[in-house]
Amino acid sequence: MAPRKGSELVPSRLFREPFAAMRELRSEFDRMFDEFGLPSLRWPTFGRLRTAEEAWFPEIDVFEKDNWLVTKIDLPGMKKEDVNVEVIDGQLAISGERKREAEEKGEEFYRCEREYGSFYRTVPLPEGAKIEDVKATFADGVLEVSVPLPARAETKARTIEIKEAAKAAKIEKTAA
């Protein structure tokens, strides 16, 4: 059974990785520094090599289209069975684990590469999002999750007449 937080159930996987949020933040900063050409500002590793789990942080795009909140996440080499999509505490939670082995043999060489790692990404959902109608598709290594947004109240524009200050003061005195 999952641990309890207050009166709500909290998924047990949140407790298995107590530093996952810190790793996610660290990875975002490292990616930002790399994009700006400043790899020397990356978070220090203190003499140890980064693990595949720490190094892999899939790219994610979040945008609004036709009154839907759309999240696209690139997951090359993964299958839909390796990915989990949930809505937890008003957030879209996307997680998964990749396991890939490539083996190549030639007459004079042998090469074997392995990649392993898990990821966990969250997207805050706006208040009133219709979580019961969430849709997810997976094609060509791209996961797309669409969440219908609540209807917005239409606001009507009203044009306000601008009067000259001297004339407006005279009108107010005569009205009083």
pTM: 0.54
What is the pLDDT at residue 3?
46
Closest CA to 69 of 149, 136, 134: 149
| CA distances in angstroms from 129 to 19, 63, 135, 165, listed in the order given | 29, 14, 13, 47
- What domains does the chain contain, in order, with CATH numbers? 1-50 (no CATH), 60-153 (2.60.40.790)
State the Cα torsion 77-81-82-84 to the nearest 10°: 130
pLDDT digits (tens, 9 = 90+) for 31-50: 776 676 666 555 555 444 44
Q: Is the pLDDT confidence value at 60 over 70?
A: yes
pLDDT digits (tens, 9 = 90+) for 65-87: 999 999 999 998 888 999 999 99
| Gap between the Cα atoms of 102 and 62, Å rounded | 32
Residues whose CB falls within 8 Å of the CB of residue 170, separated by 6 or more in sequence, listed in order: none
